[in-house]
Structures are given as structure tokens and as C-alpha cells.
Structure 1
């Protein structure tokens, strides 16, 4: 893997010499009418069939992709308009899984936790249609988020394999098959989501081994990112630097960058996709605040290794707030690029400060 594959996502009309790639993690608020359409589709008495439901999802994907373009993002996602919960969506598409009803996880919240009841197998593609539709709807590169095999195993009941490690590696091979099909379809930016690693950080070794399976025979020009939600990052760093990925997407704004120093020693050798907007706060950060957050990333990596994104998926935010965060994030990134071009920011790992007059 090489982190030199970022520049392929620079737009031809990008004005600044420096390039801080801007993107989203994945999920985005669904239009309210899509939720109503889903209710009608699931209502046996409603005159709303599969064709209507497919059209509604297509329309939502177009709307959100356009919203990402209007915000100015360099790399877009369709906001996962066709997806449900991040494990459930994939479990429905993998042979060997079955569902037996919701499980209470906390408070009054329930999760339709699947069970692995037989050997997992890859049949039809999970995401190629989604990718091809979004790529056709946008003139910008498209990132494809995929729930990682460790999370798929960890958040399921394992009734078929000797242990979760074995299941994780079997699932990793299936993810590899899917990525190969996505690459054949034109995808060049894949993000593996492993939120379970944040809650079980001592399992970083099996996640690394699974990633080796995932990237096997994937071309170097395909950018592979790993998103890990908020947790005690000191328990996985620096070990994660050995993972075969180009980029780590980390949730640091949520903790007010208290863990930033974790990544300063030893040197962060991968690209850092820095969360600069808090996905859990329903207020739009100012451009100035986001600029200050981006500068925190420059304390860890030089500009050529920095990617700018929100902390996590923003699907739980009001849609206008999510859009405001994205638009301000892009404006802040372009401002920082211009300041870097002008020599107004001295970048020394450990501190990014205004240049002396």
C-alpha cells in the first residue's frame, strides 16, 4: 500500500498547490420522504411496490450525491441511502447469516443482531450497483464504505465457527471478493469500517490479519482507508501502523483532540483522515473553528498526508446541520491550503503555527 494515490482525487479546477482531500465517512441524513416511502413499502396494504421503492432510493441517492457536490467535497458518497444498519445490510447479503428478531442492546434500543448459522459464502455483489449508480450521478470520485469483517463477526452471534477469529478471516475473504468487483467497476477509494475495534482494542492483531486478506491482489492505485470510531486509541497505536492501508480515519473532534498526542510518537507514517467536525453535536462549527481543527492534524502529519472529514457518519444529525458542517469543512480546507501556499503556516510536526511576519 502507498499513500501516494491520493492525488488522483484532486479536481482539475483545484486552484491551490496544496491539496487537503475532503470527503465524508459514509452515512448521511436520509430525506424524510425516503423514510415515509419505506413505511409505505413495508405496509402490505399500501400501493407501493418494489419498483416504487427502488425509484425512491435512486432519487434519494441523487439528491444526497448532489448535496455533497454542492458542499464542494472532493470525494462523495451517496450517504448510504440504500442501507439500513451497518451490519444488518451486509448480513442480509451474505450466505450463512440468518435473523431471529431484535436484541435489546441498551435502554429501549434494539438491534436486529444476526446469527452465523453455516459457512459464510459470497454469492452476488453487495455494492457494485450502488457504486455504479452513484458514479453515474456524479462527476466526482466516489468512495465506497464497507463494514469490516471484524465488526461483522463481533456484532453477530457465531453459531458455526470455532471462534470469532476464524469467522473474521472467512468474512475478510468475502470482502476481498467484493472489492475486486468494485475495482472492476471503476472504484478507486474503499473504506473499511471497523467500529468494533474501538470497543475491543486488544483485538487489533486479528483486524490487521483480516486486512491482509482484504487487500490481497488489490491494485496499488486503489486507496484503502480504515475508519475506527472513538475509543482509547493508545491501545491500538502504534500497532495499527503495520496495517496494510493507506489512510486511517479517526474520530478525534468528539474528544476535543485530547488523544492527539497519541499519534505523535512514533511518527504517523500513514495518511490521517482527521475528524474536524463533531458528528454528535447538532450545531454547525464555524469555518474558523474547523480551520483550527485542521491545524491540529498538521501537528501529526504534513499536509500531503492529511485528509479532512467529519468525525463519523452524520446520519443522526438534522440534514441542514450535516450540510452546513460539510460546506464549512470544505471552505476551511481550501483556506488552509491557501495559507500553506502563501507560507502563512509553519508546519512542524508537533505544532502548526502562524508563520512569522
Structure 2
């Protein structure tokens, strides 16, 4: 019988109080932030925010609990932005929207950092639920960065994969890992690079015993990239059915799918809160288009990160996803 799992891709919005408090604190400690020292007050504010978003997920009844990535001001570029071998430089548009991040310029060897592992360890202490880790996929992280050290695109992607593999090996026990790969859609790799991207994802995924979900979004993968991705040792591919239904369905119909699947059915960027039964109906619609498909696990999630949302709408989306998964389980039974 299929298991329906409610979750998110992480990267949550800050609680309203934290936006105000952290803005004031960061304004007063700008020099410390440049030097990489957040200071005790900022650290405490993020810790309180982490506790709040974990509580919000538990209250909503989500099946997987994310740390929330509230510190990730540079969004998916964060693991490089805090690395000692990286210089964060000018402001860059984050894909094709109104969010921005600091350009992480890699100027030395990407050795072990441990920053994300430390966050996840803090989250593990706050919940007895099934923990979900979140990382940028290697292709997206390389795409968002500037290489001023390795000198070759293939070598740079390999170094990013090595870096993420080392970071992941230090993670505490986790049930699921979401590798977020929007660049596979937004900056689709060319021939040769698509196979290397799949190999890099395979390398990172092999560093954990958890179930690994590769979640592209803002559209659909090109056919060849999708076919290569299925060669990676991953448990599920994610599909953004908010942004593109037809091409995502075509990929599954033409090339098949992994044993598990992640369905991005709630809009992670829209303040319109979907109805749980409507989300369940969208699950049915996917199955109607794939009459022979059988999946062991179906993850129900937003199609993108949720940091775009006001905090109250974010909490509402959590509740909808959790209820939709319960409705799907009941119908399947």
C-alpha cells in the first residue's frame, strides 16, 4: 500500500517577530557578520525561530520535520556563503524573481565546514519526529556560485559534490534528504554536463542512508536530463505540478519514474491557501494520468521553498499538506 508523506522543501520564512529583531541586531553587528561571527544575540534569535518553526510543523501534523533553514539569507547558496574559502561579493538575482543573494566566489579548496550539520543537530534535539535534511543539489550550488579557484566547470562541479558529500556524512540521523535542484530547470545543463550533474547527485545521495528526494522546480526537466537523473541512486524525483503539468507528466509517461515520487502540488510562492481536499484531488489527477503507475511513497509538498510566504500563510500551507496526506491515506485504504 502506498504511503503518503506530508513535507516541505524547507527554507521557511522567518516568524514576524524574528524579522524585526534580526534586522535590528544585524544592523548593529554588521562588522561581526562580515567577519563570520553572528554573535550571541543573533544566534539566540535564530535558535528561538528554529524552535518555533519546528513546533509549527509538529502542530500541523507534518510527517517530516525540517530544521527550517532560517539562517540561509543567501538561500540555496548558504552552504558556500558561510565557508572560509568563499568570499561573498555582489548582490545577484535569485533565479527569475525578486529575491537576491550574495555571490559566493570560491577562492580556495572547499574543505569540511559542518555548518549545516550543526543546524540539523540543533533541530534533532527539538523534535521526536522524523527529521528531514535539506541541501542544495550539487548542480544548483555550482550554478549559483562563481569559481575563482578550480578553473574548470567539470572540476568545480566535482569539488562541490565532494564538499556536499563531506557535509552530509556529518549529519545526525535523518529519515529523508531533500536535494533542491531548481538549476536543472532554470539553467539546464548541456550535453555531457547533464550526465555529470546526475553523477554528482548520485555521489551526494550515496553519502546518506536516508531516503533521498531530488526536487527540481520552476518547471520541468528536459527529457535527456530527466533520463540521466533516473540513473542516479536516489529514491524519488520531485515534480513541480504547479508550474508545469504537461511536460512533467510526459517525462514520467515516456521514461518511467523512481519507486517513490514527490508531488509539488501546493504553491510555495502564492498567498492563496489551497484546500486540503483540492490537493488530494490533484493527487488523484496525477494517478489518472498514470494509470499503471505504482509508488511506494508519495511525498506531498509545496512546489518551491516557502520563504516567499508571509508566516501565517506558511503555517496554513503546512496544515493543508498534512490534512491532504491524511485524506489520501484514508482513500487509499
1:114 pairs, out of 75, 96, 104, with 104
Q: Which residue of 2 aligns with 1:34?
A: 18
Bigger Cα Rg: 1
What is the rounded CA distance, in whole Å, between the counterparts of 1:289 and 1:38 in structure 2?
37
Partner of 1:140: 129
| Residue in structure 1 matched with residue 313 of structure 2 by the alignment | 321
Once residues 285 and 44 of structure 1 are traced to their aligned partners in structure 2, the CA distance between those partners, rounded to angstroms, is 40
Offset at residue 150 of structure 1 (A): 1.7
1:297 matched to 2:286? The reply is yes
Q: CA deviation at 1:81?
A: 1.6
CA displacement, residues 198-252 of structure 1 (integer Å, 9 cap, x when unaligned): 1232342121121232234x35x42122111123424323332112211112211
Counterparts of 2:283 and 2:46 in 1: how far apart (Å)? Answer: 34
Deviation, structure 1 residue 27: 1.6
Aligned residues: CA RMSD: 2.5
- Contact 2:261 2:299 (8 Å CA) reproduced: yes
Indicate conservation of the 8 Å contact 1:29/1:316, yes or no: yes
Moved more, 128-137 or 264-273: 264-273
- Aligned partner of 2:200 among 207, 210, 216: 210
Cα distance in 2 between the residues matched to 1:296 and 1:126: 40
Residue 158 in structure 1 maps to residue 150 in structure 2: no
Correspondent of 1:310 among 296, 302, 305: 302
Residue 254 of structure 1 aligns to a residue whose secondary structure is coil
1:41-52 matches, within 5 Å, as 41-44=25-28, 50-52=39-41
Query: Is 1:223 the counterpart of 2:215 in the alignment?
Result: no
Q: Do 1:143 and 1:190's aligned partners in 2 also have CA atoms closer than 8 Å?
A: yes
- The 5-angstrom pairing of residues 311-350 of structure 1 reads 311-341=303-333
Q: C-alpha separation between the residues in 2 aligned to 1:108 and 1:330?
A: 29
Are the equivalent residues in 1 in contact too, given 2:260–2:295 (CA < 8 A)?
A: no
1:77-110 deviations in whole A, cap 9, x for unaligned?
1321222122442123334311233246779864
Unaligned 5+ runs, structure 1: 1-16, 342-357
| Other structure's SS at 2:66 match | coil
1:277 maps to what in 2? Answer: 266
Per-residue deviation, 1:293: 1.1
Give the secondary-structure state (helix, strand or coil) at the position aligned to 1:237.
Answer: helix
Q: Distance in 2 between matches of 1:151 and 1:91?
A: 12
Pick closer, same or farther for the CA change 1:99–1:287 going to 2, 3 Å.
Answer: closer
CA distance 1:30–1:77, shift in 2 (3 Å) = same
Distance 1:153 1:137 in 2: 32
TM-score relative to the length of structure 1: 0.82
C-alpha distance in 2 between matches for 1:107 and 1:61: 26
**Across the two proteins, how many residue pairs are aligned to each other?**
319
Aligned-pair distance for 1:262?
A: 2.6
Identify the match of residue 7 of structure 2 among 17, 20, 23.
Answer: 23
Once the two structures are TM-superposed, the CA of residue 258 in structure 1 deviates from its matched residue by 5.9
Report SS of the residue matched to 1:339.
Answer: helix
Task: Write out per-residue CA displacement over residues 104-143 of structure 1, whole angstroms, 9 at most, x where no aligned residue.
Answer: 6779864311212233222x31212211211111121111
Distance 2:133 2:202 in 1: 19
Q: Distance in 1 between matches of 2:303 and 2:97?
A: 25
Q: Which runs of 5+ in 2 are unaligned?
A: 33-37
Question: Is the Cα–Cα contact under 8 Å of residues 240 and 263 in structure 2 kept in the other structure?
Answer: yes
- What SS does structure 1 have at the residue aligned with 2:70? coil
Distance 1:311 1:223 in 2: 19
- Which of 181, 189, 193 aligns to 2:176? It is 189
